[in-house]
Amino acid sequence: MIFKWVILIVLGFFVFWLLKPFRQKQKHSADTTSGVAEDMVRCAYCDVHLPESESIVGNGHNFCCVEHRQLYLQSRSRRR
């Protein structure tokens, strides 16, 4: 009976040892990004920082969404 448990434990370690390089390769590939750094910009309305490629530009300012661009432009027109 104990011999069966010893064989199961040894087989378990052997399978784990065989799959270890595969698991490390998957973990490493999941952690890597494209490696391209992108500038971060600040929304002129709510001060949230976001990547420049995701921002919406209006009147020389960056915004996180169309709604904030509209609200910012409305607030600027009321001040005048």
Residues 6 or more apart whose Cβ sits within 8 Å of residue 39: 51, 52
Mean of the pLDDT values across residues 42-71?
94
Give the distance, in angstroms, between the CA of residue 49 and the centroid of all CA atoms in the same chain.
14
pLDDT 10s digits, 11-33:
999 998 888 887 776 666 555 55
pLDDT at residue 70, as a whole number: 93
Local confidence band at 80 (pLDDT 50, 70, 90 cut-offs): low
Local confidence band at 66 (pLDDT 50, 70, 90 cut-offs): very high
On average, the pLDDT of the chain sits at 86
Residues 6 or more apart whose Cβ sits within 8 Å of residue 42: 48, 49, 62
